[in-house]
Amino acid sequence: MSSIFSTLFYQHDLWLVALAALVCSVSSFAGIALVDRARHLPGPRRAVWIFVAALAVGFGIWSTHFIAMLAYMPGFAIGYQPLGTLASLLIAIVVSGIGFAMAAYGAGSSDRLLGGIVVGIGITAMHYTGMGALEVGGSIRWDMALVNLSLLFAAGLAAAAVMIGVNSSSLKVRIGASALLTGSIVSLHFTGMGAADLSNCFAVIDNGALSTGWMAIGTALGSSVILGSALLALLLDSRDARRRALESLRLHSLADAAAEGLVIVRDNRIDGANSSFAALVGLEREALLGRLVGDYIDCDAIAHARAADGQFYATVLKAATGESIGIELVSRYAELEKGQTEVLAIRDIRERLAQEAENERARAETRQSEMRYGMLVQSITDYAIYMLDPDGLVASWNAGAQRNKGYRADEIIGESFAKFFSADDQAAGLPEQALRTARREGKFQTEGWRYRKNGSRFWAQVMIEAIRGDDGNLVGFVKITRDITRQHEDAERIAAGSRNLGLSLAHMSQGLALFGADERIVVANRRLNEILDIPDHISIEGLGLHDLAKFLTIGDNTDPESIDAVYATHKRLIAGEHDGEITQEFSGNRSIRIVHRPAGDGAFVSTFEDISERKQSEQKIHYMAHHDGLTGLPNRGSFSNHLQSALDRVGKGARVAVLAIDLDRFKEVNDQLGHQTGDAVLKLYAERISHGLQDGEFVSRFGGDEFAAFKTFRTDAELFAFIERLESAVAERYDIDRNEVSIGASIGVAVYPDDAHTAEKLISNADMAMYRAKPNLTEHVCFYESEMDEAARDRRLMARELWDAIDKDQLSLNYQVQKSVQSGEITGYEALLRWDHPTRGRVGPDVFIEVAEECGAILPIGEWVLRQACREAATWDAGIKLAVNISPVQLGSANLIDVVRRVLESTNLPPDRLELEVTESAIIADKARALHMLQQIKQLGVTIAIDDFGTGYSSLETLRAFPFDKIKLDRSFMSEVETSRQAKAVVRAILELGRGLDVPVLAEGVETIEQLDFLMLEGCDEAQGYYLGRPQFMQPLPEQKVS
Q: What's the whole-number mean pLDDT along residues 54-70?
A: 74
Dump pLDDT digits (tens) for 848-858. 888 888 888 89
CB within 8 A of 185, min separation 6: which ones? 24, 28, 60, 61, 64, 65, 123, 154
Phi-psi region of 436 (alpha: psi -120 to 50; beta: other; left: phi over 0): alpha
Q: pLDDT averaged over the chain?
A: 81
The per-residue pLDDT for 1025 is 94
Residues 72 and 211 in one domain: yes
Residues 214 and 334 in one domain: no
Q: What's the whole-number mean pLDDT along residues 857-864?
A: 92
Contact predicate 40/337, CB 8 Å: yes
pLDDT at 401 over 80: yes
Higher-confidence position of 752 and 322: 752
pLDDT at 366 over 50: yes
Q: What's the whole-number mean pLDDT along residues 709-715?
A: 94
The CA distance from 63 to 224, in Å, is 10
pLDDT at 72 over 70: no
Q: Using pLDDT thresholds of 50, 70 and 90, give the confidence band for residue 156.
A: confident
The CA distance from 215 to 211, in Å, is 6
pTM above 0.85, yes or no: no
Dump pLDDT digits (tens) for 285-295. 787 887 888 88
On whether residue 492 sits in a domain, the answer given is: no
The CA distance from 420 to 411, in Å, is 13
The per-residue pLDDT for 1042 is 38
Q: Using pLDDT thresholds of 50, 70 and 90, give the confidence band for residue 94.
A: confident
Q: What's the whole-number mean pLDDT along residues 495-523?
A: 76
The per-residue pLDDT for 507 is 65
Q: What's the whole-number mean pLDDT along residues 956-960?
A: 76
Residues 155 and 12 in one domain: yes
Tell me which H or E stretch contains 151.
Answer: helix 144-165
On whether residue 386 sits in a domain, the answer given is: yes
Residues 73 and 213 in one domain: yes
On whether residue 396 sits in a domain, the answer given is: yes
Residues 678 and 587 in one domain: no
On whether residue 621 sits in a domain, the answer given is: no
Q: What's the whole-number mean pLDDT along residues 892-911?
A: 93
The CA distance from 747 to 709, in Å, is 10
Dump pLDDT digits (tens) for 796-849. 788 888 888 888 889 999 999 999 999 999 999 999 999 999 988 888 888 888
- Most confident listed range (340-354, 751-765, 767-781): 751-765
Q: Using pLDDT thresholds of 50, 70 and 90, give the confidence band for residue 940.
A: very high
Residues 22 and 97 in one domain: yes
pLDDT at 660 over 90: yes
Buried b (16+ CB within 10 A) or exposed e, 174-197: bebbbbbbbbbbbbbbbbbbbbbe
| Count of helix runs (H) and strand runs (E) in the chain | 37, 36
- Starting at the edge strand that comes first in sequence, how are the strands of the sheet with 581-586 ordered? 521-524, 511-515, 603-610, 590-600, 581-586
Q: How far is CA 497 from CA 502, 503, 509, 511, in A?
A: 8, 10, 20, 20
Of 452, 485, 518, which closes a domain? 485
By mean pLDDT, which of 145-154, 391-400, 566-575, 685-694 is the weakest?
A: 145-154
Dihedral sign computed on CA atoms, order 417, 422, 428, 430: negative
Q: What's the whole-number mean pLDDT along residues 460-464?
A: 90
Residues 810 and 780 in one domain: no
pLDDT at 773 over 70: yes
The CA distance from 879 to 278, in Å, is 134
Q: How far is CA 704 from CA 491, 559, 630, in A?
A: 70, 54, 10
Residues 934 and 1009 in one domain: yes
Q: Using pLDDT thresholds of 50, 70 and 90, give the confidence band for residue 14.
A: low
Q: Using pLDDT thresholds of 50, 70 and 90, give the confidence band for residue 739.
A: confident
Dihedral sign computed on CA atoms, order 9, 15, 17, 21: positive
Dump pLDDT digits (tens) for 252-310. 554 555 668 888 888 788 888 888 888 888 888 787 887 888 888 888 888 888 888 77
On whether residue 533 sits in a domain, the answer given is: yes
Of 784, 819, 841, which closes a domain? 784
Contact predicate 734/741, CB 8 Å: yes
Q: What's the whole-number mean pLDDT along residues 910-928?
A: 86
Higher-confidence position of 999 and 527: 999
The CA angle 581-584-589, to the nearest 5 degrees, is 145
Residue 538 DSSP code: S
The CATH number linked to 680 is 3.30.70.270
Instruction: Please state the three-class secondary structure of 258-327 as a single string.
Output: CCCEEEEEECCEEEEECHHHHHHHCCCHHHHCCCEHHHCECHHHHHHHHHCCCCCEEEEEECCCCCEEEE
CB within 8 A of 379, min separation 6: which ones? 398, 399
The per-residue pLDDT for 1036 is 46
Residues 118 and 22 in one domain: yes
- Looking at residue 42, its amino acid is P
Q: What's the whole-number mean pLDDT along residues 723-728?
A: 90
pLDDT at 756 over 50: yes
The per-residue pLDDT for 835 is 93
pLDDT at 147 over 90: no
Q: Which residues pair with 480 in a beta bridge?
A: 385, 463
The CATH number linked to 285 is 3.30.450.20
DSSP string covering 39-77: HTS-HHHHHHHHHHHHHHHHHHHHHHHHHHHHHB--SS-
CB within 8 A of 476, min separation 6: which ones? 387, 388, 389, 390, 395, 467
The per-residue pLDDT for 381 is 59
On whether residue 1040 sits in a domain, the answer given is: no
Residues 934 and 822 in one domain: yes
On whether residue 10 sits in a domain, the answer given is: yes
Instruction: Please state the three-class secondary structure of 365-394 as a single string.
Output: HHHHHHHHHHHHHHHCCCEEEEEECCCCEE
pLDDT at 232 over 60: no
Reference 112, options 167, 156, 155, 153; nearest CA is 167
Higher-confidence position of 102 and 941: 941
pLDDT at 74 over 50: yes
Distance of CA 768 to the CA centre of its chain: 47
Residues 468 and 535 in one domain: no
The CATH number linked to 1024 is 3.20.20.450
Distance of CA 577 to the CA centre of its chain: 14
Reference 881, options 964, 815, 948; nearest CA is 815
pLDDT at 432 over 70: yes
The CA distance from 867 to 885, in Å, is 13
The CA distance from 222 to 532, in Å, is 104
pLDDT at 150 over 70: yes
Q: Where are the alpha helices (DSSP H) in 388-472?
A: 399-405, 409-412, 423-427, 430-441
Q: What's the whole-number mean pLDDT along residues 319-338?
A: 79
Q: How far is CA 645 from CA 303, 412, 597, 622, 979, in A?
A: 90, 93, 38, 19, 60
Number of domains in the chain: 6
The per-residue pLDDT for 954 is 47
List Cβ<8 Å contacts ≥24 apart for 833-838: 833/861, 833/865, 835/802, 835/805, 835/810, 835/811, 836/810, 836/811, 836/812, 837/801, 837/805, 837/810, 838/810
The per-residue pLDDT for 1043 is 35
989 backbone dihedrals φ, ψ, rounded to 5°: -65, -45
Higher-confidence position of 219 and 726: 726
The CA distance from 896 to 588, in Å, is 59
Of 299, 332, 348, which closes a domain? 348
On whether residue 357 sits in a domain, the answer given is: no
Residues 841 and 732 in one domain: no
Dump pLDDT digits (tens) for 121-130. 878 887 778 7
CB within 8 A of 368, min separation 6: which ones? none
Q: What's the whole-number mean pLDDT along residues 633-658?
A: 92
Q: Which domain holds residue 830?
A: 798-1033
The per-residue pLDDT for 257 is 56
